[in-house]
Amino acid sequence: MKTYSAAVKVTLRKGILDVQGKTVEQALHAIEFTAIERVRIGKFVEFDITAESEQEAKIMAEDACRKLIANPIMEDFSITLSEREQI
């Protein structure tokens, strides 16, 4: 068994209004960061997976994202896996 590190970016789908992003954008403009626009806020989730192979780890991570970590109706996710050094 090997341990893999997964890094998942969860972003709101295009066309879904990002209220939190809009609020942060307005706050940035209020403190003179007027060159910053189109702020979108998502989640960044990291975890370790123990699996027989990278392929198995990938399937499990995708399954976990679909079932719990992301909301597939409103959000997209992308997973980056890397083998974890033994510690």
Q: Which residues bind to a second copy, rule: CB under 8 A?
A: 9-11, 21, 24-25, 27-28, 31, 33, 35-51, 60-61, 63-64, 67-69
Task: Provide the minimum distance between the beta carbon of 14 and a second copy in the complex, in angstroms, as a whole number.
Answer: 12
**Cα distances (Å, whole numbers) of residue 22 to 32, 85, 86:** 15, 39, 42
CB atoms within 10 A of CB 70: 21
Nearer Cβ to a second copy (38/86)? 38
DSSP 53: S
Task: Provide the minimum distance between the beta carbon of 54 and a second copy in the complex, in angstroms, as a whole number.
Answer: 13
